[in-house]
Amino acid sequence: MRTRPLGRTGMRVSPCCLGTMMFGRAGNPDHDENVIDTADVYSYSETEDIVEAQIR
């Protein structure tokens, strides 16, 4: 997995971050229904390119 520095903490983290607060019991408990939304109208489709590049 690719990583990058997290500021000056000395920690390394994934360049891809997905907020999952509403996954599971706190939001939608059906694991098969949780998705990453990258609608083609968000930033003129650039969000799709960014997410796709991060998961490759």
51, amino acid identity: V
Query: What pLDDT is stored for residue 9 in this prediction?
Result: 95
pLDDT in tens, 41-55: 778 888 888 877 877
Could you tell me the pTM of the whole model? 0.41
pLDDT at residue 56 above 80? no
Range of the domain at 44: 4-55
Measured distance CA(52)–CA(46) in Å, rounded: 10
Measured distance CA(26)–CA(21) in Å, rounded: 7
* End-to-end CA gap in the chain: 10
Domain count, the chain: 1
Measured distance CA(31)–CA(4) in Å, rounded: 29
